[in-house]
Amino acid sequence: MDGPVMAEQEFDLKLSRELRRLAADYGVRFQPGEIICDDATADAIFQAGMELLCRVGFYNVDTSRVIVLTRDEVEAVRREAPKQFTRGAGKDAVTMAARSHNSPAAPYGFRWPLLHPHFSGTEAFLSEMINAHLAERTELGDLARELKSWLDGVENKAGTVGDTMWAIAVARWCLTVARLVGQPDMYVGTCAGITAPAVLACFSGDRFYRKHHSGVSVSTMPELKINWERLQMAFIAREAGVAKRIGGVTVLGGYARNAEETAILSIATLLAQLSYSAGDWAHLAPVDLEGHRTRRPVMQAQSGACRASERNIGVAATMLQHTKNGMGSVFRLYEEAALIIEQTCSGINSFWHYPCHPGADGKPKSDLDFDLVDKVARAVSGMEREEANELLNRIVKLYEGSLDHPEKGRPFSYYYDLRTLTPSPEMVELHRRVEEQLAGLGVPFR
């Protein structure tokens, strides 16, 4: 409320100017051919990111004020960052702790019912799932018909009742799936609500989430920006005892000109978010100007930020494998494999994938992409940095020529029966061929 008033453009210029200086002052430089950086570079990224936050602060766009933190305050944030937290409850509980880049223990793979990255939004995938189950005389079929009627003509738009209705619908679907696969108290993903009222509604009744079922995103806006909505979300989550996910998206090619500056800005953003939220787990996800993650410089930035956090902060880090090529493309699978290798060998402790629901035998089923990512993560866990870099370079060469003209691919429903999640023979054969090729390149599948 009483930070210095500053025009947003003035803050942006100061941020960009200080970021350039600090990258040079701390000698942050990625080596050619290295995607996963060494310990000294990771520590320099952390020190530069910490200093950036001390010099610049972060900006509340609703008040035009800078939130200023002293070095002692930032150091306290780093020291007091949570080192572990528990998702789920009872027999479905999983305790997540910080993981080192060369830990032999593989990161956890979480299968969640909705929010599939192949789709444009939550409502698109939920709608397709609902339509796939409408004719069934099952509990999911009954729920599908109820939600179909309830959501008819309702737009999922922030600040409207529609946002709340769609968030509740997602919660009900996810909890039903969890119960039907025999894991009623599992963590089913971050709440789909965009605004504070929608989040509150999802935790407001017996049919909805308990605090162990879900979490709330309290991430900043790019770059080092905040508003009252984010602060309200953090406050609500803290008071309700709900898990808080942090992870502002840093853009390479914006205020950060290169991979080194992007990694530094990612650490400053992580510390800023911890300062107002005491977030339980972090999603460090730099992107390029197109919003993608699989170009070499973006992967370097992500790895640098993860390794800096691993060595100096210790908050649990989780990731998702977004690709530029579409489903059914061999390049997509190469991208996913490269991302999970970079992430696993940079210290993440979990990743998540979609969709998941009961198969004919009642056991949870997911798509083949999840299985591939899980197998690769387990294969490279414990791999040292030098070997991981050599393997990454071999895989990245397979797809990087496709990134300027990516294959669009086909919809998820073209390759999978949404009701049973059974893949087409074409998809099964594609995955078989890619796994054989990855093994030949040096992925030590177990």
More confident site: 365 or 137: 137
pLDDT score, position 119: 44
d(CA 373, CA 257): 30
pLDDT score, position 230: 87
In tens, the pLDDT along 357-384 reads 666 566 777 889 999 999 999 999 999 9
Residue 35: is its pLDDT beyond 60? yes
Q: Tell me the two tokens of residue 283.
A: 């999603």
pLDDT score, position 115: 57
d(CA 409, CA 426): 13
Alpha helices in 345-424 (DSSP H): 368-380, 385-399, 412-415
Q: If you write DSSP's letter for every residue of 143-201 in order, what string do you get? A: HHHHHHHHHTT----TTSHHHHHHHHHHHHHHHHHHHHTT-TTS---B---SSHHHHHH
Which residues, including other chains, have CB under 8 Å from residue 12's CB and lie 6 or more apart? Answer: 223, 255
CA atoms within 13 Å, Cβ hemisphere of 148: 14
In tens, the pLDDT along 289-323 reads 888 899 999 999 999 999 999 999 999 888 888 88
Using CB atoms within 10 Å of the CB of residue 31, give its burial: 0 to 12 exposed, 13 to 18 middle, 19+ buried.
exposed
Confidence category of residue 433, pLDDT binned at 50, 70, 90: very high
d(CA 389, CA 385): 6
Mean pLDDT of 392-413: 93
pLDDT score, position 118: 42
pTM of the model: 0.93
58-60 β-sheet, strand order: 65-67, 58-60, 225-226
d(CA 441, CA 183): 37
pLDDT score, position 403: 93
Range name among 72-76, 81-85, 189-193, 396-400 with the lowest pLDDT average: 189-193
Torsions phi, psi of 366, nearest 5? Answer: -140, 180
pLDDT score, position 426: 96
Helix (H) or strand (E) holding 45: helix 39-56
Is the preceding omega at residue 444 within 30 degrees of 0, hence cis?
no
Mean pLDDT of 274-302: 90
Q: Tell me the two tokens of residue 241.
A: 């005892």
pLDDT score, position 243: 86
d(CA 145, CA 123): 15
Range name among 106-110, 137-141, 155-159, 405-409 with the lowest pLDDT average: 155-159
Residue 124: is its pLDDT beyond 90? no
In tens, the pLDDT along 214-240 reads 888 888 788 899 999 889 888 888 888
Domains and CATH numbers, the chain: 84-441 (3.20.20.460)
